[in-house]
Structure 1
Amino acid sequence: MEMHLQEKHAMLNDLTSAFKEVPGIAAIVLGGSHAAGYANEQSDLDIGLYYFEKTPFDIERIRDIANRFSKDGLPLVTGYYEWGPWVNGGAWIHTAIGKVDFIYRNIDQVQQTITDALNGSWHHHFDQQPPYGFRSVIYLGETQVCKPLFDPVNVIQQLKAQVTPYPAKLKATILSDCLWLSEFTFMQCYAFANVADTYNTLGCFTRIAHYLTHALFAINEAYPLGDKRAMQHIAAFKQAPLHMTTRLNNILGHAGTQAHELIASTDLLKTIWQEIVALTEGRYQPRFQPGTV
């Protein structure tokens, strides 16, 4: 294990040295699980390549580096924004030490996203990636945990300084959005459950679970890095319903198909929502009163 980590560290140094020579790369960071501190021997190396919108780097230079370090076929290297508006490009390569990902990041877009968050605004792009899409707060999480490898003009440090402490306006927006949208979805969910419409009832369940996940991250003033380890983080939060992840797994895994089963499962999920609302200590208020929607 230790030897493998040393090999990854050597690969990281070699890649960083290569990227430093590419005009337009303003900063290089280590991201993902290695930066966040929960990597294992199988974890990919995630390398963030930051650029200013007006002076982007040449993709062919990135392709040359990917080809040089690839040991298993031609690597996948994309242009800008080929993967979507948020995961805005990069490369997947298989190297001598395992899988390495290059991830492009537009500094101007990251800065605008942080500015929006400070003003209480966040964004969601459902089709960006499974299962729940991309929430813009992930940029703030990436910024907070990433480890600068090359930052000659301190752009990464300047971004980092803006994401701590957790923005109060962002917290208020996320709690209002997620807890109200959960409440609204429950209204539809009971209607589906009453007629044993499993497809739509379970769709409501996962939608609500997604909202509640982001509400809990906001309550605990933590930024998510994605959906992959969200339940592990929630299990460690100081403020969360007791046995939240176990209860949620049981609801999603044993929802039933009959109307009475689906209604009972909806009731259990609503209990979790009520417990999360209680954690806001009165800060959450529904947008509409019962009977108006």
Structure 2
Amino acid sequence: MNPEELAGRLCAVDGVVAVALGGSRSRGTHRPDSDWDLGLYYRGNLDVPGLRAVAATVADEPVALTEPGGWGPWVDGGGWLRVGGTPVDWIYRDLDRVRRVWNDCRAGRYEVGVQAGHPLGFYSHAYAGEVALCRVLADPTGELAALREETRAYPPALADALVRGGWEAGFLLDGAAKAVAAGDSGAAKAIAAGDSAYVAGCLFRVVGVLVQVLHARAGHWLVNEKGMVAAAGRLPGAPPDFASRAQALLGSVGHSPAELTATLGAARRLCVEVLG
């Protein structure tokens, strides 16, 4: 597959402003079998039938392309193709919305939205990070390349906001502790609850919040949950063995109240080291 040639054909479709390569292939961390993630940056009415016509000429088999919004509120839609046996993902991005999010980033604002495929929630500043880390394949107007240059510098106001947001980790651990030992206030002693599922969910988000804080302090963009723990462990300022300790929390949450309590204790210690 020639990605530049394909990107040029996609840019000829009404509404498409630019096409960029994202994911591990844009960062040079890909494996031979890694997907090709193509971001289709559009404005206004996107000609989805036109995209389907292009897909029909390059894909190994029929492809179901969504309308904008077909995959949820943040991952705007697209399709999963195979081109010459290689997985190629087309992912829509509303360029005007990306610009609005970038303005929010510079002002120290971000959102966390519910989005299929993002168990931590979709952090809005990922839009800016995707642009900063992408490789522009086709950009007739030069708009995406110019935005890429702007987003290379991580906004200090965004970093401050994400670090302040680290308070959530402690709040989550307090809630998880209540699920380990629950009881009536008038009872002589608490009834052991041992709610492993709830504790595991809280711990995943705790780790995610800590990862966001570490990336923000280091001024490194984080665009999704895949590989986030390992990436955070390599950052300057990460506690010793952060990645292995965080993975251990999630890999062995425990079942009994005693096991869950021990896990929460380890999580609190990690929080203290990250958040102070």
Kindly provide the CA deviation profile for residues 153-209 of structure 1, in whole angstroms up to 9, marking residues without a partner as x. 2211221233232111111111111x2111111221222223322222222211211
From 154, 167, 171, the equivalent of 2:155 is 167
The aligned runs of 1:110-259 (5 Å cut-off) are: 110-177=98-165, 179-194=166-181, 195=192, 196-259=194-257
- 1:284 alignment partner in structure 2: none
- 1:62 alignment partner in structure 2: 51
Per the TM alignment, residue 101 of structure 1 is displaced from its structure 2 partner at its CA by 1.1
- Is it true that 1:41 corresponds to 2:39 in the alignment? no
Percent identical across equivalent pairs? 27
Per the TM alignment, residue 97 of structure 1 is displaced from its structure 2 partner at its CA by 4.2
User: 2:5 and 2:177 mapped to 1: Cα distance?
Assistant: 56
Change beyond 3 A, Cα 1:170–1:199: same
The aligned runs of 1:11-26 (5 Å cut-off) are: 12-26=3-17
- Cα contact 2:75–2:115 (8 A) shared by 1: no
Large movers: runs of 4+ above 4 Å? none
Per the TM alignment, residue 258 of structure 1 is displaced from its structure 2 partner at its CA by 1.6
Letter in 2 for 1:242: P
- Cα contact 1:124–1:134 (8 A) shared by 2: yes
Change beyond 3 A, Cα 1:45–1:190: same
- 2:187 alignment partner in structure 1: none
Kindly provide the CA deviation profile for residues 81-119 of structure 1, in whole angstroms up to 9, marking residues without a partner as x. 111121101121111141111111111000000001111
User: 1:47 and 1:242 mapped to 2: Cα distance?
Assistant: 36
Change beyond 3 A, Cα 1:27–1:130: closer
Between the two proteins, the alignment pairs up a number of residues equal to 265
- RMSD, matched Cα: 1.5
Letter in 1 for 2:170: E
User: 1:114 and 1:36 mapped to 2: Cα distance?
Assistant: 20
Kindly provide the CA deviation profile for residues 7-46 of structure 1, in whole angstroms up to 9, marking residues without a partner as x. x4x2x13312322322322112111111111112101111
TM score, norm. by length of structure 1: 0.86
Q: Which runs of 5+ in 2 are unaligned?
A: 182-191
SS at match of 2:267: helix
Per the TM alignment, residue 123 of structure 1 is displaced from its structure 2 partner at its CA by 1.1
User: 1:45 and 1:198 mapped to 2: Cα distance?
Assistant: 37
User: 2:15 and 2:115 mapped to 1: Cα distance?
Assistant: 29
- Cα contact 1:48–1:103 (8 A) shared by 2: yes
User: 1:217 and 1:254 mapped to 2: Cα distance?
Assistant: 25
